[in-house]
Amino acid sequence: MQSVISSVWAELLPSVVLKNLGVLSLVLLGYLVEKHYVSRPALFANAVAINIHVSQKQSPPDLLAIYANGAVIMGVLAIYSYWMEESQGELFYNIAWLYSSITVGIVIFLTW
């Protein structure tokens, strides 16, 4: 049964989507939990997504690697403060939009 389901997805979705399904799923998850701001769990999911995307590239552009490294820092801060039930400062939330689901989704799309 599993192979039938897998083959249906393989026929319906373009190969680039299938290859990046994990990354796209994380970005979609982040987008769905974002309401009026970039939530800390969404930021963490987006940080993981962009880093998975970058790790799949043989030699990612320097700016993409820097962006992904920033995502790691922001993602760790986000999930830690969420876990500790502490709010981050204004600077954190001003930078967070760089790692919103839409922004990360655009970056991933542009660097496929």
25-34 pLDDT per residue, tens: 877 877 777 6
Report if residue 94 sits inside a domain.
yes
Q: pTM (2 decimals)?
A: 0.74
Find where tokens 């999930």 sit. 79
Token couple for 109: 């799309």
d(CA 96, CA 102): 12
d(CA 110, CA 112): 6
46-70 pLDDT per residue, tens: 999 999 999 999 999 999 999 999 9
Report if residue 23 sits inside a domain.
yes
Report if residue 2 sits inside a domain.
no
Range of the domain at 75: 15-110
Residue 34 has a CB neighbour count (10 Å cut-off) of 17
- Count of domains forming the chain: 1
Report if residue 8 sits inside a domain.
no
Token couple for 104: 């990360």
More reliable by pLDDT, 32 or 87 = 87
8-26 pLDDT per residue, tens: 767 777 887 777 777 788 7
Is the pLDDT assigned to residue 3 strictly greater than 60? Answer: no
Report if residue 3 sits inside a domain.
no
